Structure 1
Amino acid sequence: MTTTRPSSLVTVAACNLNQWALDFDGNVQRILESCRVAKENSASYRLGPELEICGYGCEDHFLECDTFDHCWESLIELLEMGATDGLMCDFGMPVLHCGVRYNCRVICRDRKLLLIRPKTALADNGNYREGRYFAAYSAPTHASSGIVERHLLPSTFLSKFGQRDVPFGLHHLHCADGTTVGCESCEELWTPRSSHVDLALRGVEIIGNGSGSHHELRKLYTRMELMISATRKCGGVYLYSNQRGCDGGRAYYDGCAMIVVNGRIVAQAPQFDVRDVNVVVATVDLDDVRSYRASNPSFGIQAARLASEERGGGGCGNGGLACDDVRLVWDPADAASFPNRNNWPKMTDECLSLKIVTPEEECCLGPACWLWDYLRRSGAAGFFLPLSGGADSSSVAAIVAVMCILVTKASREDPEGDVARECRRVCRKDEGNSLWVPSTPGEMANHVLHTTFMGTENSSGVTNSRAKRLADAIGSYHMSIKIDLMVKAALQVFQISTGHMPRFASRGGTMAEDLALQNIQARLRMVTAYLMAQLLPWVRGRAGFLLVLGSANVDEGLRGYMTKYDCSSADLNPIGAISKGDLKRMLVFLSKEYPGFDVLAEIANAPPTAELRPIDAATATAEAGHSQTDEEDMGMSYEELGHFGRLRKMYRCGPVSMFRKLVVTWSHLAPSEVAAKVKRFFYYYSVNRHKMTTITPAYHAEAYSPDDNRFDLRQFLYNTRWTRQFARIDDIVAQQPDSDNNKDKND
C-alpha cells in the first residue's frame, strides 16, 4: 500500500519545567508529566532544561556525592515509569566521570541510555558559578582515532536494563531512519564558537539546547536573536528548553521554550506562568532543513572542508553514533501515528505571532511568579508589606496583586489542577474535598497580603490616602497605624542613658542628630513589620506566619540611600534589582491595564519622599505631600544613578573611566560638574557598600544589581577618598578646563 505522506516528518517537543533544587521526587513527577504531554502530541523527541533532574540551583550541593547518587536514582525511576518508551528524551543532570564532575545531557530512548554529552563551556559570570562545581569538557587526544570514550553506569542499570556502559563525549546520534540529533547546553549558545555550528556542518538536523537561563529585563529578545541567527546561518531544527521559576535563590528562570526552524520560530511556550509544566510541540519536515542547507553554497563549502579535515585525522571526536534501533520520523506504514497537522509549522514570514512582553510587563510578571513559588514552597500563610504610599512599596503591592491575578485565573480555569490545589493550601482552604477557588483576585489578596501604613508625626495625609486607596483596590488586609509612641520611648531611653536629646537640623540639631532621628523611625518600622508578620494571622484567627516583603529598589541599593535594618530589611525583596524608572513605568502600565488601579499612576508621578523629617509647610508640594524628597537628599537623580550603575557593573568602569565616558555623554555639563557627580557617586557607593552585605534576598532583574551576596562580588571596605582615582580625574579636568561654551549652557 502506498501513501502520499512524506517520510521526513518528525514531531519534536520542548518544555519549561518549574524544577526545585534537591526536590528529586517532585522533579521526577514534573519530568514525567512533560513526557506524557509530549507523547500525547505524538512527539518522538523531547528536550528538557539544564540539570532538570536535580534542579539548576543546587550550588554547593553539587560538591556532595549524594546529589549525584540521587540523580541516578531519579533517572532509573524515569526509565522504569516508561518516560522514554517510544520517546527519545534529552535529560539534564550532573555526572561524575573519571573522578571529574560534569554538567551533562543524558539522551535515552526505550529504557536505554544512548549518549552522555558533557558541557564544554561553563557560565561563570553574574549569577553563575558553574566553574566552582563542574569542569568544562574537552575531547581526549585519542578521539580523532575513532575510539569512543565510555562511562561505566551504576550497577543497577545492568540488573534492571541490561546496560553496563554508555558512550560519553562530544558525539551526535544517527538514527536508523536517517535523522541526526545533537545537543548543546545553555552557555554554548552564547560562546563565540558555538557547538551548534560544528554540529550543523556535520549534518546534524535536530539540535537541542537544555538551558537554565535566568530572567533579566530585556534579555529574552537577545536569546531569541541568537537562536534565530544560528539557524538562519546554518539551517536546522533548534529546540530550546528552559528552567522556569524560583528553584531556591534570587534568580527567576523565565521559561519561553522554543522551536526554531531555518531562522523562524515555529513554537513558543509562555515566558511567565504559574503552571509547573509547559510543553510546546511542532511537526517539522527535515527535507526543508536539507534543501535549505543545500541551497547555501558557502555552507556546503565549509561542511565539505570539515569532512575533509576529519578524514585526514584532524577531527576533534564530535562524531556520529549509530542508533540502528531508533527511528524518529513517521513510518508511512503506521497511518494511525500520523501527527495532527495543526502541529505543522507554516514556513512563512508570519509563521508565529511571537510574544515578547514589554519591560513594564516583565517588571511585574517575573517577580509575581517568583513570589508565588516562594510563597507556596515556604509554607507561609501570606505576605506582610509596610505600605507607605510611595512608588517602591506600592510597586511591591502591585506585584503581589498581579500574582493573585495569575493564580486566580489559573485556579478558576482548572479547579482540580495543581495551581488550584496550591492556592487552596496557601489560603488555608484545603480542608475536606472542597474545590474552593477565589472568585476574584481581590479575594485571594485578602487571604495572602497584609499591608500597614506606619505613620509618624512626620508623615503626610497624602501618602496615607494613597496607601489606603491602593490597598482597597488590591483587596489586601490593611491597617493604618502610628508608631510615634515607639519612637518617643526609644528616645527617652537614650535621654535617660546619656542626658541628651537629639534634634532635627531644622530645629537646631547637627546632621548626626538629624540622621539618627530619621533612622530610628525607619528601624522601628522594621521591628513593627516583623511583629505584625508573626501575629496578624493569629489576630485573624488563622494559622501560620507571614513573609515580610522589602521595597528598596536597585538604585537606592547602589547609592546606599537606605537605613540599614529598616524596611529594606525583610525576608524577600521583589524589586531589589529593578530601577526606579522601570518601576514608575510599570505602575503607569498597571494603572491602564487593570480597572480600579488608577491610583498607581498618581503614585508614579509623585516625587519620592522618605517622610522622616518634619514637614516644612513653605516647601511642601501637593504632589509629594512633604518637603523632603529623595533626590535632593541623595544629591543625584535616579536617572543619574542608572547611568552610574550600568557603567560600574555592565561596562566595568572605575572612577576615571566612568568620568571619561560621562564627560562625553553629558556634554551639556562642564567637565568639573561631571567630575563632581562621579566623585559624589563613588564616595557614597563605597561608604555605604557595607549595607549590601546584609541586603534582603532580592529578585534579580537588572544587570547592574549591587547585590553583594551572589551577583556583585566587590569588597565592602574601601578607601572612600579614592585618592589615586580622584586625583587622576582632577588631572584630566585641569587639562581640559570648563569651556566658555559649557559655562554658557549651564547659566
Structure 2
Amino acid sequence: MQLIRLAAASLNQTPMDWRGNFDRMAAVIDAARRQGVGLLCLPELCVTAYGCEDMHFSPAVRSRALDLVQQLLPLTDGIAVAVGLPIAVGPALFNGQAMLVDGRLAGIVCKQHLANEGIHYEARWFERWPAGAVDSIEVDGRRVPVGDLLFDIGGVRVGIEICRDAWIAERTGIALARRGADVLLNPNASHFAFGKCDIRRRFVVEGSRTLGVATVHCNALGNESGRSIYDGDTMIAALGRLVASGPRFSLADSQLSSAVVDVAQLRQNRTRWMEAGRVGKQDAGLVAAPLEWPTVPDTEGASAPLGSASSATDAPWESGPHRKEEEFARAVTLGLFDYLRKSRANGFVVSLSGGVDSAAVATLCWLMVRLGVAELGQAGFAKRLPSVCGAQEAGDPRGLVRRLLTCVYQSTRQSGAATQNAARGVAEAIGAEFHLWSVDAMVDAFVGVVGEATGREIDWQTDDVALQNIQARARGPGVWLLANLKNALLLTTSNRSEASVGYATMDGDTCGGLAPVAGIDKHFLRHWLRWMETAGPAGVGPLPALAAINAQRPTAELRPAAAGQTDEADLMPYDVLDAIERSAIRDKRSPAEVLATLGPEFPQHERSELRGWVERFFKLWSANQWKRERYAPALHVDQGNVDPKTWCRFPILNGGFRAELEELEGG
C-alpha cells in the first residue's frame, strides 16, 4: 500500500477582502495539516474571490493576489496546497491554480476552457491557455513554470482541471491521466442551480472510474459578491467510488473533507492509460516537487478506494422527495446571510403585504436564523453578525429574529382585513418586529396636487393604472425611511414571473437593495410556501401561520374592492405564464413555437385563449426591459433567469415582436 490523505475545502471568500481571504485560507490549511493531509485543494480564484468582475483588469489586484500566495508559502511546510488566483503571463491574464509544496511555489496551472455562458463571462477577463503549452514567469527572483503542468509531488503525480476544464467532453483530465496522473484536482467556482450538484458528482465519480485516478473536487461557498450563490460542495472519489463528501450551504467560513487513498491500487487499475505510451517519455510540463508525505496509519487503509468503508455522507434531505424545496430554502438563506454580513447592514426590512411574495421573503429571513443557529449555535450565529446581535440575544432565537427583521403592513383603502391579518399573523409567528400604517393621506395628497396642476379630475374610469401605481409608490418613502433609521437592508419582494411581464411598480414594490425571490417563478413560490406551511425544511419543520397567506388568491389590492382584482385575471394563470417564459426566454422560441408547445401542456385551455396569453406575454416582455434593468440584485437559483446582469440580456429598445405576433394572429 501507498496511502496518502487528500482533502478538499470550500471557502466563503469576498472579492478583494485581502486580510479576510488570507485568514480563511490559512485557517483551513492549518486544519488540514492537523488532520494529516498531504494534498489540499482550495477553490478556483479563492485568493481574490471569483466575483471580482472588471477588477480582474487591475494590475494592483493581480499583484496583491500573487503577494498573498507568497505569504501562504510558509504555512505549507510538509503539505501541498493548490490555490486559485488570476495570473499574468506577458500581456495576457489567465485563470490560474498555484501549487504550493512544502514552502515552495512549484508552478501555476492555467485554465484551458473558459465558462462564458449564462452567469459567467470569463472570456471578458481571461485568455484560454493552449493545451500542451508551457511557459514561465519570474516570481521573487526565480522562474516559475506556468501552463499545462503535471506535478510529481513526492512520487505522486497530480494534475489540475480548473472548473470547466472537467465539464467538457474532452476534459483536460484525459490528457493528464495519459501523462500518468494519479490524482486530479478540480477546483471550482460553480454557481448553485437546482440539481446541479448531481452533475458535478457524476463528473467527479465517473471521472475517477474512467480515468483510473483519485479526483478531488472543491467549490466556492456562499454569496461572494451579491448575486451568485455557491453551495460549497466538497467531494473525493477514487476508482468510481465516492469516498468523502462535505455538507452544502454551510454558513461557516469553510468546510473541509478528507479521505485516504492507496496510490498503488490506483496504478494497478490504470493499465489502459499506461498502454497509451505517454508515460516514461519526456514531458516538458512535468514539474518535480519534493515532499515527504505525512504518514497515514495502516489502520486507515479501510477507507482506500477498494475498501468497503466510505466516509461520504449526505444530509437526509439530499435524497428526500422535497429536495428542490430544501435547496431553495438553504440556498436563499445562505445568500441572505452573506449579503447581510458582507454589506454590514443591521438587519432586514420587509414591506409585508399579506401576499405570497412578501411572506416568502419574511419566512426566508426567519429560516436564515433558524438554520444558522442550528449549524453554528446561537452564540456562534450572533458572533458572525457582530454589528447586529449583542451577547444578551445569543440565547434567544426569537430575540435574534426580532433584532434582525422588521416587517410593516402599509394599508390603503383598497386593502382588506384578510391580508392585514395574514401579514400580522406571519410576523408574530416568526418573531419579527411589526408595524402597521396607512398611506392613504400620501396617496390623496399626490392625486390632489397633480389633479390641481393638470386642471382635471383623476379617477378610476380614465386613470386606472396611474391610480394603482401611485398607491404602490406611496409605500416606498416610508419603508425606505424605516430601513434608513435602522441602517437595515430593504428587501424587494418581486418574483421572476412579475419581472418577466413588468407586473410591478418601479419605485414602489420594487424598492429595495436586494431581491431574494426575483430569480424564482411565482408558480414554484406558491408551491414552496404551501410546503413551508405543512412540512418545512428538515430540522426546522412547518410554519402553520402561512395558512392565512396560502388561502388567498394572489392580488395586488390596488383597485377598489368591488373590482375583484387578482394577479391572474390581470395577467394569465401563473403556471401558463411561467411555461411561456421558460419557452420564450430560456429556450429562445418564437411566439408561434411557444404556442405550439402550450397545447399539449395545457389541454384544459382553448387555443384562442393560449394564443392571447402568448401575445400578451411577448408584448409585456418587450415593453418592460427597462424595469428589469432597474431591479435590485437578484439571487440566482435557477438555470433560467431574467436578470440582465447575470443571465438574460435583452435590448431596452426593440421591435416588440410585431412581425412574429402578426403571424401568430394570422394563424
TM-score, L = length of structure 2: 0.93
Could you report, residue by residue, the CA deviation over 1:151-195 in whole angstroms, capped at 9, with x for unpaired residues?
Answer: 221xxx24xxxxx01111212112333x21110111112112111
Aligned residues: 658
Q: Distance in 2 between matches of 1:246 and 1:601?
A: 31
Deviations 1:675-697 (A, max 9, x none): 33322211111112221110111
Structure 1, unpaired ranges of 5+: 1-5, 159-163, 295-299, 430-434, 538-544, 620-626, 734-747
The alpha-carbon deviation at position 568 of structure 1 amounts to 1.8
Q: Which residue of 1 is the match for residue 664 of structure 2?
A: 729
Counterparts of 1:197-208 in structure 2 under 5 Å? 197-208=174-185
**Following superposition of structure 1 onto structure 2, how do residues 436-455 of structure 1 map, counting pairs within 5 Å?**
436-455=392-411
Which residue matches 1:41? 35
Alignment correspondent of 1:260: 237
> Of 513, 525, 529, which residue of structure 2 is paired with 1:583?
525
Pairwise CA RMSD: 2.4
2:246 and 2:312 in contact (8 A); partners too: no
Q: Summarize deviations over 1:381-437 as a string: whole Å, max 9, x none.
A: 111110011110000001100111133334536x4x5x442234322x2xxxxx545
1:655 aligns to 2:591 (yes or no)? yes
- Out of 217, 223, 244, the residue aligned to residue 194 of structure 2 is 217
Whole-angstrom CA distance in 2 between matches of 1:453 and 1:557:
22
Task: Pick one of 83, 104, 115 that aligns with 2:75.
Answer: 83
| Structure-2 residue corresponding to 1:150 | 136
Amino acid at match of 2:10: N
Letter matched to residue 517 of structure 2:
I
Work out whether residues 19 and 52 of structure 1, in 8 Å CA contact, stay in contact via their aligned partners in 2.
yes
| Unaligned residue ranges in structure 2 (runs of 5+) | none
C-alpha distance in 2 between matches for 1:190 and 1:320: 24
Q: Cα deviations across residues 440-474 of structure 1 (Å, max 9, x unaligned)?
A: 32110110100001111111111111111111111
Judged with a 3 Å threshold, the aligned counterparts in structure 2 of structure 1 residues 231 and 602 are, in CA distance, closer, same or farther, namely farther
Whichever residue aligns with residue 373 of structure 1, its letter is D
Partner of 1:520: 470
2:620 aligned partner = 684
Change in CA separation of 1:277 and 1:176 when aligned onto 2, cut-off 3 Å: closer
**SS of alignment partner, residue 479 of structure 1:** strand
Aligned 1:118-137 pairs, distance under 5 A: 118-137=110-129
List per-residue Cα deviations over 1:297-347 (Å, max 9, x = no partner): xxx1x6524639x96xxx9x7743333x2243737xxx6xx7867966784
User: Which residue identity is paired with 1:31?
Assistant: M
**Partner amino acid, structure 2, of 1:612:** L
Q: Which residue of 1 aligns with 2:424?
A: 468
Select which of 96, 100, 109 maps to 2:101.
109
Distance (whole Å) between structure 1 residues aligned to residue 607 and residue 628 of structure 2 = 31
In structure 2, the CA distance between the partners of 1:530 and 1:182, relative to structure 1 (3 Å rule), is same
Q: Distance in 1 between the 2:526 and 2:553 partners?
A: 11
Paired with 1:121 and 1:525, the residues of 2 have a C-alpha distance of 48
CA distance in 2, matches of 1:630, 1:573: 20
- Give distance in 1, aligned partners of 2:299 and 2:307: 17
Q: Quick one: which of 194, 212, 216 aligns to 2:171?
A: 194
The 1:306–1:496 alpha-carbon spacing in structure 2 relative to 1, beyond 3 Å, is farther
Residue number in structure 1 paired with 2:387: 425
Closer, same or farther: CA 113–468 of 1 in aligned 2, 3 Å: same
1:27 equivalenced with 2:33 (yes/no): no
- Equivalent-residue separation in structure 2 for 1:595 and 1:651 (angstroms): 36
Q: Deviations over 1:517-559 (max 9, x none)?
A: 1111111112221011123x3xxxxxxx111001011111112
Are 2:314 and 1:354 equivalent residues in the alignment? yes
Match of 1:743 in 2: none
1:606-633: per-residue Cα shift (whole Å, max 9, x none)?
31111111112xx8xxxxxxx2110111
The alignment partner of 1:232 has SS state of helix
1:228 aligns with 2:205: yes
Q: How does 1:315-464 map to 2 (within 5 A)?
A: 319-323=285-289, 325-328=290-293, 330=295, 347-348=307-308, 352-355=312-315, 356=318, 358-412=323-377, 415=379, 419-427=381-389, 429=390, 435-464=391-420
Query: In 1, distance between residues paired with 2:590 and 2:192?
Result: 27
From 461, 474, 488, give the equivalent of 1:546.
488
The Cα offsets for residues 54-84 of structure 1, whole Å up to 9 and x where unpaired, read as 11111100011010111122112212xx321
Tell me the secondary structure at the aligned position of residue 107 of structure 1.
Answer: strand
Q: d(CA) in 2 for partners of 1:38 and 1:195? A: 27
Change (3 A) 1:595 1:151: closer
Match of 2:581 in 1: 645
- 1:615 paired residue among 553, 558, 561: 561
Of 655-664 and 598-607, the range deviating more from structure 2? 655-664
Which string of whole-angstrom CA distances, capped at 9 and with x for unpartnered residues, describes residues 90-143 of structure 1? 010010102110000100112211121000011111111110100011046xx5
Give the 3-state SS of the residue equivalent to 2:561 in structure 1. Answer: coil
CA deviation string 1:222-242 (max 9, x = no partner): 222222222232232111111
Q: Secondary structure at the match of 2:23?
A: helix
Q: Give % identity.
A: 29
**In structure 2, distance between residues paired with 1:206 and 1:329:** 16
Match of 1:167 in 2: 145
Return closer, same or farther for 1:479/1:248 CA change in 2, 3 Å cut-off.
Answer: same
Q: Kindly tell me: are residues 633 and 349 of structure 1, through their superposed partners in 2, closer, same or farther at Cα, counting changes over 3 Å?
A: farther
1:570 to 492, 512, 516: 512
In the alignment, which residue of structure 2 is the partner of 1:624?
none
Distance 1:174 1:651 in 2: 45
Give 1 or 2 for the bigger CA radius of gyration.
Answer: 1
Residues 208-254 of structure 1: per-residue CA shift (max 9 Å, x gap): 11111111222222222222222232232111111111222211111
Q: Deviations over 1:618-652 (max 9, x none)?
A: x8xxxxxxx21101111x22111221222233322
Q: Rate the CA distance shift 1:581–1:674 in 2: closer, same or farther, 3 A.
A: closer
Q: Does the 8 A contact of 2:243 with 2:303 survive in 1? A: no
Counterparts of 1:347 and 1:638, CA distance in 2: 51
CA distance in 1, matches of 2:36, 2:248: 24
Which residue in the other structure is 1:628 paired with? 565
Matches of 2:237 and 2:482, distance apart in 1 = 50
Q: Which moved more, 1:552-561 or 1:722-731?
A: 722-731
User: Which amino acid in the other structure matches residue 573 of structure 1?
Assistant: A
Counterpart code for 1:246 = N
Identify if the C-alpha distance between structure 1 residues 522 and 121 changes in structure 2 by more than 3 Å, giving closer, same or farther.
same
Q: Normalized against structure 1, the TM-score is what?
A: 0.84
Alignment-mate amino acid for residue 523 of structure 1: R
Distance change >3 Å, CA 139–CA 224, structure 1 → 2:
closer
Q: Is the CA contact 2:78–2:293 (under 8 Å) kept in the aligned structure 1?
A: no
Q: Deviations over 1:648-705 (max 9, x none)?
A: 3332223243334335545665655443332221111111222111011111112221
| AA of the residue aligned to 1:688 | N
3-state SS of the aligned residue for 1:647? helix
TM alignment of 1:240-251, pairs within 5 A: 240-251=217-228
Post-superposition Cα deviations, 1:550-578, rounded to whole Å, max 9, x if no partner, equal: 10111111121111221222111110101
DSSP 3-state at the match of 1:369: helix
* Aligned amino acid, residue 449 of structure 1: L
Between the aligned partners of 1:573 and 1:193, the Cα distance in structure 2 is 38
Match of 2:65 in 1: 71
